[in-house]
Structure 1
Amino acid sequence: MVSVLIAPDKFKGSLSADEVARALERGLLEAAPRTRVDRLALADGGEGSVAAACAGRFSPEKLTVTGPTGRPVTAEVAVHGRTVLIEAAAVCGLGILQGGHKAPLTATSRGIGQAVRYALAGGADTIVLALGGVATTDGGAGMLQSLGALLTREDGSPIGPGGGGLADLRMADLAEARAALTGVDLVLATDVDNPLLGPTGTAAVYGPQKGATESEVRELDDALAGFVRRLEAGGVTEAARCADAPGAGAAGGLGYAGMLLGGRVCSGADYFLALLGADDLLAASDFVVTGEGSLDEQSLSGKLPVALARRARRLGVAVHAVAGRCTLPEDRTAAHFRSVQALTDLTDQDCARDSALSAHLLAQCGRTLADRWIGRGGTETSR
């Protein structure tokens, strides 16, 4: 009996990672019913991270925190033992802005700090911040404030919300926030390597997609630079070094704030693969099916399908990819995947916004994989 691991990322805007996996499984088993299938919904630190963790060993817990515009939001964290995973996009993400109205200067990360406090109150000794998809560009100032940091104006009052509020910062004291995380392993899961400031920093690169105009991007970058200077003046000697570090610009600067609290940046893809036990499943599989919404140049820099393929290659396990679309020529994918199928090659319709169509086409891809790579009797072929 052939053993297949189906381990995709989400198809953003269409299907969750688990829905992608189930659709592929349905088609594969229709064509090769004697196949043994394991499903593993993946995430790399962005949207869907809690759902992916909870499809594995983690359990969801709901809490109410401050959303990006100051309104309360109900979010889920994922809990396993004394490890708590917090998905930044679920707390202060672009996807939860009321009416889709963006707030580039005032969106706050305060709710992230509240979620961290929730985890600490429950006895967590490992807190994973899944960084991606946020509406904020506040350098993590809101998170730091809700953990006890003093970020004040000239008159001693707290600065206002968002990156815009940082323009009024005159004094910074992180002592209480740092003390709150003493003895905790703070993991900053991201595959973004931007620094905090400058032309490749968080405001310049990600500000526009959060609604910032050209002048607002400059305003945000200047405010973040002032944040770094005030931290240095307040005795945070590593403030400038951390601002230059890869990943500081993740999630509107949440990566930076996490570093100031002693957090360690790690590859979101590799961390989640390890967290979800991918290696054990790979070792027990004859081949793997993975995929994501868009297989492109960014994928080759270490996004989930390629990160999974690298692990599989070390174990001698072949990997097949299914994507919503693929913009890479075969000579760019062959080093990682034995075959690639793209939904856009199967329809003229916009499947990226049609979940039912995407699921139907994924099942078709599953049948194609079975027909080509698994015999009808359930034995692997080399065709």
Structure 2
Amino acid sequence: MRIVIAPDSFKGSLSAAQVCAAVEAGVRRAAPDAKTVAVPMADGGEGTLDCFLRGAGWQEIRMTAHDPLGRPVAARYALSRDGRAAVVELASASGLPLLGPGELDPLRADTRGTGELVADALRRGARDVLVCIGGSASTDGGTGLLRALGVRFTDAAGAELPPGGAALARLAAIDDSGLAEGAREARFRVACDVTNPLVGARGAAAVFGPQKGATPEQVAELDAALVRFADVLAERTGRRVHDLPGAGAAGGTCGGLVGVLDAAPAKGAELVADLMGLPAALDAADLVITGEGRLDDQSAGGKVVSVVASLARERGVPAVALAGSVAGPLDELHGLGLTAAFSLADGPRTLAELTEGAAGLLAAVAEQATRLRLA
């Protein structure tokens, strides 16, 4: 029996590699002779960089950048061995986990540090840059990142705007004449796991702003500022990103990169699946076990479970998902190819208990899923 294990990380609990190890332990209890193939996955957010670094042909570059509040922070990115390609993870320098309790600043936090990583990669000769976004602490439309590459955002008087999304309400002009060397020749792609537009009821501020500390009043302020940003982008470049699917990812960073750099949005989980060789691994599989921290109706929108299930369906392989919580209905996921889903909870448990005991609970549920397949 050949079982492929291809989960996302369980955020705040286990990395994707640790999830693979826990699931494999459970599989072994049910089928000691089974051949297991671990394919740790990610969807363009946190953990994507590690997937690339586990692959052949990539080296880790460490450097000091600035966090969302402008403080020095140790950050990293991946550079191909030939120096021509780079993978930058926004969470490394601009992620929400970099801020402590009471430090959230939704109006002024920015993505400058991520831009510093991109700029360093360009200086080293990279001309194919993949920016993996997710888990950001800001709603600045990616302007901090773009500033680090030499783009200026000014008001009606020609003065440079301060960092953060709120200041974009006063945006009058975008000047990319000082764009960093190599940026115009580079191909930029943006890997994300959501399809939210830049503005509106499903936009960056409305959906993700509260996670970054924004009050209802601040959400409205940030949304109006992003509308202004999108309006000026459309006037300046002819690219309309207001309603572009995915433009609202990472506080509008995707929209900013598309609008200014003509970046191409890409589904992060599909990129990682190809990189990690998941399609080939599934060709001879009898079962694939995937999973993520929470499985719900949003999981069908390009997240790891949906991509794994789709690939499995194409090959006629049963796909089982394990998650800390499973909230139905999962009709869309089942339509994509997911055979069944199981929660780790073996009874009433707090989130803290599930997080702390995730490895053991994963092994237990994986054992039962494997026994069911054997039957």
TM-score relative to the length of structure 1:
0.89
| Alignment-mate amino acid for residue 151 of structure 2 | A
Distance 1:97 1:122 in 2: 29
Post-superposition offset of 1:157? 3.8
Contact 2:248-2:254 within 8 A present in 1 as well: yes
Tell me which residue corresponds to 2:172.
170
- Matched letter for residue 65 of structure 1: A
Structure 1 runs not aligned, ≥5 long: 374-380
| SS at 1:119 equivalent | helix
**1:181: which partner in 2?**
183
Offset, 1:334: 4.6
| Equivalences for residues 334-353 of structure 1 within 5 A | 334-335=334-335, 336-344=337-345, 346-350=346-350
1:361 equivalent in alignment to 2:361: yes
Give the aligned length: 370
Q: What is the CA–CA distance in structure 2 between the aligned matches of 1:356 and 1:72, rounded to whole Å?
A: 31
Superimposed CA distance per residue, residues 326-375 of structure 1 (whole angstroms, 9 cap, x where no aligned partner)? 1125766654333322112x1322255654411011111232233332xx
C-alpha separation between the residues in 1 aligned to 2:37 and 2:102? Answer: 37
1:282 aligns with 2:282: yes
In structure 2, distance between residues paired with 1:34 and 1:292: 26
TM-aligned CA distance change 1:216 to 1:49, over 3 Å: same
| CA contact 2:131–2:190 (8 Å) conserved in 1 | yes
Corresponding position of 1:315? 315
Alignment partners' CA distance in 2, 1:310 and 1:79: 30
Q: CA deviation at 1:243?
A: 2.9
Shift of 1:267: 1.5
Q: Do the aligned partners of 2:130 and 2:189 also contact (CA within 8 Å) in 1?
A: yes
Distance 2:330 2:251 in 1: 35
2:255 is matched by which residue type in structure 1?
A: Y
Match of 1:220 in 2: 222
Deviation at 1:113, TM superposition (A): 1.1
Using the TM superposition, give the Cα deviation of residue 143 of structure 1 relative to its aligned residue in structure 2, in angstroms.
1.1
Q: Is the 8 A contact 2:90 2:133 kept in 1?
A: yes
- Please state whether the residue corresponding to 2:20 is helix, strand or coil: helix
Q: Residue 352 of structure 1 contacts residue 358 of structure 1 at CA under 8 Å; is this kept in 2?
A: no
Q: Quote the Cα distance in structure 1 between the aligned partners of 2:53 and 2:354.
A: 25
Maintained 8 Å contact 1:147/1:180: no
- RMSD between superposed Cα atoms in Å: 2.2
Change (3 A) 1:84 1:321: same
In structure 1, C-alpha distance between the alignment counterparts of 2:319 and 2:32, rounded to whole Å: 20
Task: Tell me which residue corresponds to 1:23.
Answer: 22
In structure 2, the gaps of 5 or more residues are none
Shift of 1:227: 2.4
Q: How far apart in 1 are the matches of 2:62 and 2:101? A: 23
Q: Does 1:65 align with 2:65?
A: yes
Percent identity for Structure 1 against Structure 2: 38
Residue of structure 1 equivalent to 2:48 = 49
Offset, 1:252: 0.8
CA contact (8 A) 2:7 2:291 kept: yes
Question: TM-score, normalised on structure 2?
Answer: 0.91
Q: What is the alpha-carbon distance in structure 2 between the residues aligned to residue 332 and residue 247 of structure 1? A: 19
Shifted more, 83-92 versus 325-334: the winner is 325-334
Instruction: Check whether the contact 2:150–2:178 (CA below 8 A) recurs between aligned residues.
Output: yes
Work out the CA distance in 2 between the residues paired with 1:197 and 1:330.
Answer: 27
